[in-house]
Amino acid sequence: MAQWWLGPAICGWLLMPPLPRFNSSCTNRLAAATTRCDDATERPYSDPEKAARRLLEHAHAFEPIQDARIYIEKLNGPFLFGDKGTPAEYGAGLQLAIARGWLVMHESGTYVKFTAAGADLFA
């Protein structure tokens, strides 16, 4: 039977059950989760060049709508959920594609368009 102890309450003392004790395996799992593994595999889109190329493939696969617009969700959905890329890899790839002149993003951020240089990559 668990031992009971007296603990402070708002208006005096209250009989309270004992506090739970941490199992040593819980602390080991916490330590393992917060340390870097030496044998971690390289992420496929950690290189912004590869991420940008993959985003261009997704953009090329989508049929442009209304004035050659490619909605941004047609790029980020397949990249983040299909390819299992991270938001940081997505952002780095998109910024690189825009910096290289392959894509142009509208000022609202809702769609992108291929530039001539970007379209030539698939010609």
Closest C-alpha to 79, from 106, 97, 100, 104: 97
pLDDT recorded at residue 10:
52
In tens, the pLDDT along 74-113 reads 999 999 999 999 999 999 999 999 999 999 999 999 999 9
65 neighbors 110 (Cβ within 8 angstroms): no
Q: Is residue 102 part of a domain?
A: yes
What single letter denotes the amino acid at residue 22?
Answer: F
Is 53 contained in some domain? Answer: yes
**pLDDT digits 0-9 by tens, 29-39:** 555 555 555 55
| Portion of the chain with pLDDT greater than 90, in percent | 58
Residue type (1 letter), 18: P
**Residue 16: inside a domain:** no
Residue 71 falls inside a structural domain? yes
Which helix (H) or strand (E) segment is 22 a member of?
A: none
Q: Is the residue at 15 inside a domain?
A: no
Report if residue 100 sits inside a domain: yes
CATH of residue 105: 1.10.10
Structural tokens at position 116: 């001539």
Domain count, the chain: 1
Instruction: Tell me, yes or no, whether 36 lies in a domain.
Output: no
33 occurs within a structural domain = no
Segments forming the whole domain that contains residue 74: 48-120
* Beta carbons of 53 and 92 less than 8 angstroms apart: no
User: Quick one: which of 97, 94, 91 has its CA closest to 121?
Assistant: 97
